[in-house]
Amino acid sequence: MSNKFSRRNFVKAGAAVGAASLAAGFSPFAIGGAHGSKKVVVVGGGVGGATAAKYIKMMDSSIDVTLIEANKDYYTCFLSNEVLGGDRQMNTLKISYAGLKGHGVKVVNDIVTGIDSGKQMVKTRGGDSFKYDRCIVSPGVDFKWELIDGYDASVAENTPHAWKAGPQTVTLRKQLESMRDGGTVIIAPPPNPFRCPPGPGERISQIAHYLKNNKPKSKILAFDPKKGFSKKGLFVDGWARHYGFDAGSMSGGLIDYTLQDGVVAYDARTKTVTTKSGNKIKGDVVNIIPAQKAGAIAAAAGLTNAKGWCPIKGNTFESTQHKNIHVIGDAAIASPLPKSGYAANSEGKVCAAAVVALLNGKEAPHPTYVNTCYSIIAPNDGISVAMVYNFVDGKIGKVKGSGGLTPKAFDAKARAREQQYAYSWFENIKADSWG
C-alpha cells in the first residue's frame, strides 16, 4: 500500500477527529501541493454547496476546495415561515461562512457568470477565473416570471414571493404586521416541481397562527393551480383544529383554499390577482410564489434541459450534459428526492464522496440518501414527512416500506415532541451544512 493511499484511509477513518481539529482552524492532514492538489470549485454556498464543500474536506483534506457565493451571509428558508408567524427572529436564520473557512474551504464572495466546461474554468462578475478538476453547482432556484402577467423581479420587491429567505421575508412580515384586522391575505402556491413542497402549507399555517392571535377577523385566500398539495391531509386536519377550517368545503374560519385555480395575472397598483378561471380578488397583503426553474447560472452553463432543470446521474450527481460538472440541490433532477434542504444536504454528501473517489482514481461509492421535512402547524403541533432512498438499476428510488407521514390521528405528546425535534433538525442541519 502506498503512502498516499494509507494517509487517505487515515483521514477517512479519522473523520470525527479530523472534523474537530479542522474546525479549530488548521488541517493536520493537509498535503498541499505535494502531489499537485486536485481542485474543486463549488458554485453556490447554500445547503447543497456548503455541505459538499465541507464533506470533501472531511473526506480528503488534500483537495483544494473553493466555494463561490453571491451573498456575504446566508439566510435559511427553513423556519422562515415562523418569522412570518412572529414566533422566530430573522437573526436565527442567518449563517456566516466562518465555519466552512475553518474546514479549510476557500470562500469567495462573488457571482459566477460562466462555467467553461472545455477549459474547466469558472468565471465571476468580479473578473476572476478559477480552474477546476471538478465543479459542483448548487445554485438553488430561479423563477419563471413570464407565467404570471404583471409579476416580475421588481414587482416582487413590494409584493414578495419570500421563497428565498432574506429581505423579502422581512417585507412580508412587516406587511402582515401593518395590515388591518379584517384584511385579506392572498397566497399563490406554485405549480410542480418547486422548492419545498410542504412550504406553502406551512406558510399558510404560520400566517393563520399570527392572524388568530392578532387579527382574527382577517382571511387567507389561497389560489393553487394544483389538484392537491404536500401533507394536505395533515395540514387540513390541523387547520380544522386550530383555525376553524372545514376540510369538506376547503374553507371556513381563517382560511379559504381554492384548488386548480392558480394566479395568472397581477395588478400591482391595486393589489389585485386574476385567477385562471377569471376571478379577480383584491388583497391587503399578496404573496405570489412563482413557478420555478434551476438557478440562472445552470442554464448559462448549458446544464439545464428544456424544462429548466438539470439532468444528472443519481450516484455521482455529474451532469449528463457536461463532464466534470456536478449539479446538486434544488437545481438537479433527483426525483423521487424532493427539492428540500434535507435532500440537498444528503445529495451534497453523495456528491462529495463521488468527487473524492473520482479525483483519487477510484469508482464512485454506493450512494444512500434520506429526506425529511418538518412543518409546524401551530405551537405544539409539529408534523413531518420522511423517506429513505437507494440507488438501484442506475436510478434513485424510494426504499419500499420506509418513510411516510406523521400519523393523522392527533397525538398531543408526539406532536409537541415533533416541534422540538423540528427545532433540533434546524440546529443540526445548519451545523452539519455550514458549521
Partner 1 sequence: MKHVKTLGTALIFGSLAFSGASLAGGASGEALSYTCAGCHGTNGASTGPASPSLAGMSAVYLADSMRAFKSGERESTIMMRIAKGYDDDDFDKMGAFFEKQTMHIADQSAGGMAGKGEKLHEKYCDKCHAESGMDPEDEAGQLGGQWTAYTEYQLQDVMDGTRDPGKKMTKALKKMHKKEGDAGIQALLDYYASKK
Ligand X SMILES: Cc1cc2nc3c(=O)[nH]c(=O)nc-3n(C[C@H](O)[C@H](O)[C@H](O)COP(=O)(O)OP(=O)(O)OC[C@H]3O[C@@H](n4cnc5c(N)ncnc54)[C@H](O)[C@@H]3O)c2cc1C
Nearest-approach distance from CB 344 to ligand HEC, in angstroms: 14
Q: Which stretch binds ligand X (CB under 6 A): 47-55, 127-135, 205-213, 275-283?
A: 47-55
- Count of residues interacting with ligand X (CB under 6 A): 37
Nearest-approach distance from CB 65 to ligand X, in angstroms: 15
In the bound state with ligand X, the residue whose beta carbon lies nearer, of 46 and 283, is 46
Under a CB-based contact definition with an 8 Å cutoff, are residues 345 and 369 in contact?
no
CA–CA separation, 286 vs 393, rounded Å? 45
Q: How many CA atoms lie within 13 A of 42 on its CB side?
A: 34
Residues that bind ligand HEC (CB under 6 A): 370, 372, 386, 421, 425
Nearest-approach distance from CB 197 to ligand HEC, in angstroms: 16
x/- track of binding to partner 1 for residues 408-427 (CB under 8 A): ------x--xx-xx-xxx-x
User: Applying CB under 6 A, does 387 fall inside the site for ligand X?
Assistant: no
Among the listed residues 46, 193, 225, 314, the single contact to ligand X using CB under 6 A:
46
Strand 255-258 to 219-223 pairing = parallel
**Counting Cβ atoms within 10 Å, is residue 357 exposed (0-12), middle (13-18) or buried (19+)?**
middle
Question: Which partner, ligand X, partner 1, ligand HEC, none, binds residue 280 by CB below 5 to 8 Å per kind?
Answer: none
> In the window 14-53, what residues touch partner 1 (CB under 8 A)?
15-17, 19-20
Under a CB-based contact definition with an 8 Å cutoff, are residues 237 and 247 in contact?
yes
Which of 249, 176, 234, 183 is closest to 378 using CA atoms? 234
Among the listed residues 281, 357, 380, 397, the single contact to partner 1 using CB under 8 A:
357
- Tell me how crowded residue 236 is: count the other CB atoms within 10 A of its CB: 20
Q: Which stretch binds ligand X (CB under 6 A): 146-154, 192-200, 275-283, 310-318?
A: 192-200
User: Applying CB under 8 A, does 384 fall inside the site for partner 1?
Assistant: yes
Residue nearest ligand X, CB atom distance: 46
Which of 349, 84, 385 is closest to 233 using CA atoms? 385
Distances (CA, A) of 166 to 120, 143, 158, 163: 32, 16, 14, 9
In the bound state with ligand X, the residue whose beta carbon lies nearer, of 74 and 257, is 74
User: Applying CB under 6 A, does 75 fall inside the site for ligand X?
Assistant: no
Nearest-approach distance from CB 288 to ligand X, in angstroms: 13
Question: Which partner, partner 1, ligand X, ligand HEC, none, binds residue 77 by CB below 5 to 8 Å per kind?
Answer: ligand X
In which residue are the cell numbers 442567518 written?
Answer: 94
Nearest-approach distance from CB 381 to ligand X, in angstroms: 15
Q: Footprint of partner 1 on this chain (CB under 8 A)? A: 9, 12-13, 15-17, 19-20, 55, 342, 345-346, 349-350, 353, 357, 362-363, 365-370, 372, 384, 386-390, 399, 401-404, 406, 414, 417-418, 420-421, 423-425, 427-432, 435
